[in-house]
A and B are shown apart, each in its own frame.
Chain A
Amino acid sequence: DTGVSQNPRHKITKRGQNVTFRCDPISEHNRLYWYRQTLGQGPEFLTYFQNEAQLEKSRLLSDRFSAERPKGSFSTLEIQRTEQGDSAMYLCASSFVAGGPYNEQFFGPGTRLTVL
């Protein structure tokens, strides 16, 4: 396994358009996380999945955002009616959690979104 992969790596879109990003986690990992990173800031949590169930969503995740993880494998993050403020790096991470505190997350390279 080569780690977490994300596609596309870059996306340029016009305001008002919909975009969808894909994340493929490390295969045996049961947790998948989405983060957003803007310039000069640390990544901010958006949402996470335990297998196929979406367990938590941040207040940052407005109604225009939706995430899915069908069958507990890959995940998609869709942004509808994009706004310029959505321009950011979207990061995906995965981990294997079995009840203990140790939960190293493995990050993908990110998808950089630019909304014109």
Chain B
Amino acid sequence: AQSVTQLDSHVSVSEGTPVLLRCNYSSSYSPSLFWYVQHPNKGLQLLLKYTSAATLVKGINGFEAEFKKSETSFHLTKPSAHMSDAAEYFCVVSERDTGNQFYFGTGTSLTVIP
């Protein structure tokens, strides 16, 4: 069975400091992993994806994530937070054998302090 655990429900950082949003997953097979961002009153937007290629994945707006199979983790990072990064972030796991349906974590709310 697939599942995702986002270890922090809220993260608060100062503008210009690094961001770390943590995600652990459970998967029976080789998973695809994604990070999506949801701004207030906006649709879910893909930040980045891992699909069994390079373990270090670069996404939009300076975000990166590293797939670590031994730790079953897919943490999202950014070197320097910007005010516009304040949003809800979702880690997602998907497997081809389950129809590619997405399993979402409960989300991490990122606050950026000026």
Chain A interface residues toward B at CB < 8 A: 4, 31, 33, 35, 40-45, 48, 55-56, 91, 93, 95, 97, 100-110
**Inter-chain contact count A-B, CB under 8 Å?**
63
- Considering the complex, which residues of chain B in the window 44-103 have a beta carbon less than 8 Å from any beta carbon of chain A? 44-46, 49, 51-52, 90, 94-96, 99-103
Interface hub of B34, B103, B104 (most chain A Cβ within 10 A): B104
A30 to chain B, nearest CB (A): 11
- Whole-angstrom distance between the alpha carbons of A101 and B32 in the complex? 7
The answer to whether residues A33 and B101 also contact, given A42-B90, A101-B51 and a CB cut-off of 8 A, is: yes
- Whole-angstrom distance between the alpha carbons of A36 and B34 in the complex? 18
The 6 lowest CB-CB distance pairs between A and B, nearest first, are: A42-B104, A107-B44, A103-B100, A109-B43, A102-B51, A45-B101
Contacts of B99 in A (CB 8 A): 48, 55-56
The answer to whether residues A45 and B51 also contact, given A100-B96, A103-B96, A104-B46 and a CB cut-off of 8 A, is: no
- Whole-angstrom distance between the alpha carbons of A31 and B102 in the complex? 13
- Pair A42/B30 contact, Cβ less than 8 Å: no
15 A-B pairs whose Cβ atoms sit less than 8 Å apart in the complex: A33-B101, A40-B107, A42-B4, A42-B90, A42-B104, A42-B105, A42-B106, A44-B104, A45-B103, A56-B99, A91-B43, A93-B102, A101-B51, A103-B32, A107-B45
